[in-house]
């Protein structure tokens, strides 16, 4: 592996708490960087995008994106497109190799894997694929069969072969077995015309890594501007008009793709071209009223970490569009119309209102985003996190040492300096407590929002160590999935597995779990005599590891018929209370044997 890239992968793995071999760490590093605008710093989303294992058909990383977010089940697609007329979709396939060279045979294998998944999507069970690829094909199939609800007649697709090479791989792209493989994928007719393979070396990978902090040193002209006085936390600020031709430089990269991460802090995603507001924006752009655009549109608000100007020429880095996402997307759609392509002067003659604020203070970014969108940032889980009990739990977690866990009670706007795999948020803790302390794993799976209300049963006058116990069990289950790729077909049942682990190591909980009365459980937790929650102790910690293996085996056995179809479990397979009760009975039988 390229030396500098190796150093970056090592640091990334330390920061996130990822273990495994060098190649496994590299796969996660590539996934985190190439899918950053969709996965952010979410450990779960990063790990879910990595297929791993020896039966991945050459596809190391994959993501299906619908309306700007990664989906993992067909039902999620149905929910997202149900009430929206025009939707967006994209499929991303990545092969990640630590090698400093390109291997045409491995490239061809990767493309063959893409071809196989796509063929399976068009004709299910037409060939044999491992479960994770069947899951992927099912998502593509669901998008294809709902084609009338998507903006593109064919599905946009991105193919990346990522190495640590010092060149861009142009040579391997020209080899016959590679060009023929690309042709076969195109002939299926599922993906957008012109789908192509991008071969990237360490320079391109480094550029992707930098994009995690926003686009870097993007040049544009800002001639019609006025200075806004700076403050202690704002180094520079301007308000004025930017031509559409210059604004597109901020919105799209040199390949014509939307710049990664520039809308992350924008409260609203792209609402589609048929949204009433967006329709009016487009109508203005396509009419004589276009010259009045600065008076009819609120424009964009941009927050940057660095802004440097020389005359009318500016260089902007680490920026996000915190207000004006709909305007931005409509401008990009308009720029792609034949009218504009044939008359470029339309872009140079259109002026868009823009406010740019340069600040390194994360709270400024958040406050500007909220204020300009006229929305509040306070959610129900934020209210839970403000309680004294939550503060006590946070303090308890903080005392667990470098090998323990941390409770991120509030979103600080800055990264907690602790391995991300060991950091738990309030919504995650709610679900862990519901499953492991109350036996309500079906609620944790099917109704997580119900656990976030202010008076939810998961927050009460219980010992702080019970919260740590719950979080620890979930953490160890996640790590088990991380090191055993073959078990990830059971991930949808994660909270059932957590409930079972708790019941195995604390058999006294089984009868109260069976009763299904959260008030009874709450009283039992307030008098935790004979219950063991000290997972920091070696003996109990080892019992947790053993119980996870037993719970995974019992879960696989109960759902063996579903797994026999060749796909992973889905939420709809496991969310019922009947599944929860059946698995608890399996634990009871195990204890009695």
Residues 218-253: pLDDT tens digits? 999 999 999 999 898 999 999 999 999 999 999 998
pLDDT for the residue 83: 77
- The whole-angstrom separation of Cα 71 and Cα 33 is 18
Residues 232 and 93 occupy one common structural domain = no
Which DSSP string corresponds to 411-442? --SS--SS-GGGEEEHHHHHHHHHHHTT--HH
Residues 198 and 267 occupy one common structural domain = no
Q: Is the pLDDT of residue 377 over 70?
A: no
- The whole-angstrom separation of Cα 441 and Cα 499 is 6
Q: Which residues are paired to 197 by β-bridges?
A: 159
Q: Which of 177, 192, 211 is the last residue of a domain?
A: 211
Number of structural domains (the chain) is 3
Number of residues that this document lists for the chain: 593
Residue 258 per-residue DSSP state:
B
Per-residue pLDDT, averaged over 455-482, amounts to 95
Rg (CA), the chain: 26
Residues 327 and 445 occupy one common structural domain = no
Longest pairwise C-alpha distance within the chain: 81
Residues 207 and 247 occupy one common structural domain = no
- The whole-angstrom separation of Cα 187 and Cα 198 is 19
Residues 362 and 447 occupy one common structural domain = no
Domain boundaries, position 404: 380-592
pLDDT-derived band at 267, boundaries 50, 70, 90: very low
Render pLDDT for 88-136 as a digit per residue (tens, 0 to 9).
899 999 999 999 999 999 999 999 999 999 999 999 988 999 999 999 9
Q: Which residue has the higher pLDDT, 279 or 267?
A: 279
Q: Is the pLDDT of residue 455 over 90?
A: no
Residues 98 and 194 occupy one common structural domain = yes
pLDDT for the residue 262: 85
Render pLDDT for 492-519 as a digit per residue (tens, 0 to 9).
999 999 999 999 999 999 999 999 999 9
Is residue 176 packed enough to be buried (19+ CB in 10 Å), middle (13-18) or exposed (0-12)?
Answer: exposed
- The whole-angstrom separation of Cα 60 and Cα 69 is 20
Instruction: Tell which residue, 322, 284, 288, 287, has the closest CA to residue 302.
Output: 322
Residues 357 and 232 occupy one common structural domain = yes
Residue 50 per-residue DSSP state:
B
Residue 409 per-residue DSSP state:
-
Residues 207 and 224 occupy one common structural domain = no
Give CA separation, 159 vs 62, 118, 191, 415, in Å.
Answer: 10, 13, 11, 31
Q: Which of 211, 238, 255 is the last residue of a domain?
A: 211
pTM, 2 dp:
0.78
Residue the block writes with tokens 């790990």: 47
Q: Which of 150, 178, 211 is the last residue of a domain?
A: 211
């Amino acid at each position: 592996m390229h030396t500098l890239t190796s150093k970056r992968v090592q640091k990334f793995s330390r920061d996130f708490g990822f273990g495994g071999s060098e190649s496994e760490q590299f796969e996660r590093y590539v996934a985190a960087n190439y899918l950053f605008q969709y996965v952010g710093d979410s450990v779960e989303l990063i790990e879910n995008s990595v297929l791993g294992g020896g039966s991945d058909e050459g596809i190391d990383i994959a993501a299906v994106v619908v309306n700007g977010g990664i989906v993992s089940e067909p039902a999620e697609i149905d929910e997202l497109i149900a009430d929206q007329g025009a939707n967006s979709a994209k499929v991303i396939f990545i092969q990640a190799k630590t090698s400093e060279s390109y291997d045409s045979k491995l490239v061809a294998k990767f493309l063959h894997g893409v071809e196989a998944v796509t063929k399976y999507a068009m004709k299910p069970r037409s060939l044999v694929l491992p479960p994770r690829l069947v899951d992927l094909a099912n998502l593509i199939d669901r998008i294809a069969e709902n084609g009338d609800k998507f903006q593109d007649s064919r599905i946009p697709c991105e193919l990346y072969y990522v190495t640590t090479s010092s060149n861009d791989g142009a040579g391997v792209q020209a080899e016959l077995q590679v060009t023929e493989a690309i042709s076969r994928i195109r002939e299926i007719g599922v993906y957008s015309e012109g789908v192509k393979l991008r071969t990237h070396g360490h320079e391109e990978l480094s550029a992707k890594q930098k994009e995690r902090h926003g686009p870097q040193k993007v040049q544009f002209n800002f001639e019609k501007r006025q200075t806004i006085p700076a403050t202690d936390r704002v180094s520079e600020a301007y308000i004025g008009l930017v031509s559409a031709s210059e604004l597109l430089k901020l919105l799209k990269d040199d390949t014509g793709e939307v710049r990664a991460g520039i809308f992350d802090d924008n409260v609203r995603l792209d609402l589609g071209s048929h949204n009433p507001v967006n329709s009016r924006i487009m109508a203005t752009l396509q009419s004589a009223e276009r010259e009045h655009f600065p008076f009819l549109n609120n424009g964009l608000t941009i927050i940057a970490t660095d802004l440097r100007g020389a005359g009318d020429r500016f260089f902007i880095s680490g920026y996000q569009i915190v207000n004006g996402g709909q305007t931005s997307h409509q401008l990009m759609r308009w720029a792609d119309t034949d009218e504009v392509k044939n008359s470029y002067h339309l872009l140079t003659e259109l002026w868009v209102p823009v406010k740019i604020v340069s600040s390194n203070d994360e709270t400024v970014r958040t406050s500007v985003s909220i204020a300009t969108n006229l929305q509040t940032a306070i959610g129900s889980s934020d209210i839970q996190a403000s309680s004294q009990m939550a503060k006590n739990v946070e303090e308890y977690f903080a005392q667990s040492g470098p090998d323990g866990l941390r409770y991120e009670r509030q979103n600080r706007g800055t990264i907690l300096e602790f391995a991300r795999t060991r950091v738990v948020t309030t919504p995650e803790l709610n679900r862990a407590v519901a499953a492991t302390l109350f036996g309500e794993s079906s609620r944790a799976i099917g109704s997580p929002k119900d656990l976030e209300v202010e008076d939810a049963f998961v927050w009460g006058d219980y010992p702080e160590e019970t919260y740590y116990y719950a979080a620890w069990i979930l953490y160890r289950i996640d790590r088990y999935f991380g090191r055993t790729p073959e078990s990830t077909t059971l991930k949808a049942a994660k909270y059932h597995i957590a409930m079972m682990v708790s019941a195995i190591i604390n058999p006294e909980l089984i009868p109260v779990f069976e009763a299904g009365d959260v008030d009874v459980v709450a009283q039992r937790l307030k008098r935790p005599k004979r219950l063991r929650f000290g997972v920091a102790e070696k003996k109990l910690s080892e019992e947790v590891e053993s119980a996870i293996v037993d719970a995974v085996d019992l879960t696989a056995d109960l759902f063996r018929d579903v797994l026999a179809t060749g796909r992973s479990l889905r939420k709809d397979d496991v969310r019922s209370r009947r599944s929860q009760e059946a698995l608890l009975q399996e634990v009871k039988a195990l204890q009695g044997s």
